Amino acid sequence: MPVREIRHPLVRHKLGLMRRGDLSTKSFRELAQEVGTLLTYEATQDLPLEDYTVAGWCGPIKAERIAGKKVTVVPILRAGLGMLDGVLSLLPSAKVSVVGLARNEETLEAHTYLEKLVGELDQRMALVIDPMLATGGSMIATLDLLKKAGCKEIRALVLVAAPEGIAKVEAAHPDVQIFTASVDQRLNEHGYILPGLGDAGDRIFGTQ
């Protein structure tokens, strides 16, 4: 499934602000949540609807609502938490499944340290959120885990993606659509995205 780079002017503007190396933790945090909200809007455009009737002010009114089980949002710890509130602002009743992964900075391999998934994953769409898709290792490990737990429909929301990581995710999970604010140029020799955002987790948590 092709990656979707969101060209909306608000996304382009906010991501441009996030590129500034001297941006405060506060502003970086706020923008990560805001872009998370905008990506959610794009990624949920085709959610199935069902008709129902509400007791309106003038009697019964036909209305529509999102059908089926609630979506589960899946933040990849730690940096994925930096987008969570932004996503939940549009999906306030979503369930949250948490996956803790840390990338070994030498081997670049993702190591899983936490897995707390909600029930009935076979009936829920999962929205995986992580600011960075670099080598793709963390995303692939999360997608493997979700599918093993029964999840059938998964979308990934990332602020910035590297072409190398996109290719790996597409090869391993061709059914998963990736929504991103930017497909950047490449990875550097340390597995960091260029031009990227630097270490997103450190910038969100103020640990740099």
Q: Which distant-in-sequence residues (6+ apart) come within 8 Å of 121 by Cβ?
A: 72, 97, 146, 149, 150, 151
Whether residue 166 contacts residue 139, with contact meaning beta carbons closer than 8 Å, is answered with no
Q: Write the CA distances from 131 to 33, 50, 182, 199, integer angstroms.
A: 10, 32, 11, 10
Per-position DSSP letters for 96-114, written without gaps between them: E-EEEEEE-TTT--EEEEE
Q: Which two tokens stand for residue 171?
A: 């090869």
- C-alpha span between 154 and 204 (Å, rounded): 25
Task: Among 72, 82, 196, 204, indicate the residue that binds ligand URA (CB under 6 A).
Answer: 196
82 counts as binding ligand PRP under rule CB under 6 A: no
Total residues interacting with ligand PRP, rule: CB under 6 A: 23
Using a 10 angstrom Cβ sphere, with 0-12 exposed, 13-18 middle and 19 or more buried, the burial of residue 123 is middle
Closer residue to ligand URA, CB minimum distance, 36 or 91:
36
108 binds, among ligand PRP, ligand URA, none (CB under 5 to 8 A by kind): ligand PRP
Q: Does the footprint of ligand PRP cover residue 76 (CB under 6 A)? A: yes
Identify which of residues 11 and 110 has a Cβ nearer to ligand PRP in the complex: 110
Residue 77 neighbours by CB distance under 10 Å: 17
C-beta of 54 vs 194, nearer to ligand URA:
194
Please report how close the Cβ of residue 66 comes to ligand PRP at its closest, in angstroms.
Answer: 28
Asked if 110 interacts with ligand URA (CB under 6 A), we say: no
Q: Does 132 bind ligand URA (CB under 6 A)?
A: yes
Give the per-residue contact string, 133-172, with ligand PRP (x = CB under 6 A; - = no). Answer: xxxxxxx-------------------------x-------
- 93 CB contacts (<8 Å, ≥6 apart)? 70
- Candidates 110, 154, 160, 197; binder of ligand PRP (CB under 6 A) is 110
For ligand URA, the binding residue among 29, 66, 192, 205 (CB under 6 A) is: 192
Cis bond upstream, residue 92 (ω within 30)? no
Least gap, CB of 82 to ligand PRP (angstroms): 9
**Residue from 15, 134, 139, 151 in contact with ligand URA (CB under 6 A):** 134
Residues near ligand PRP (CB under 6 A) are: 76-79, 101-103, 108, 110, 130-139, 165, 191, 200-201
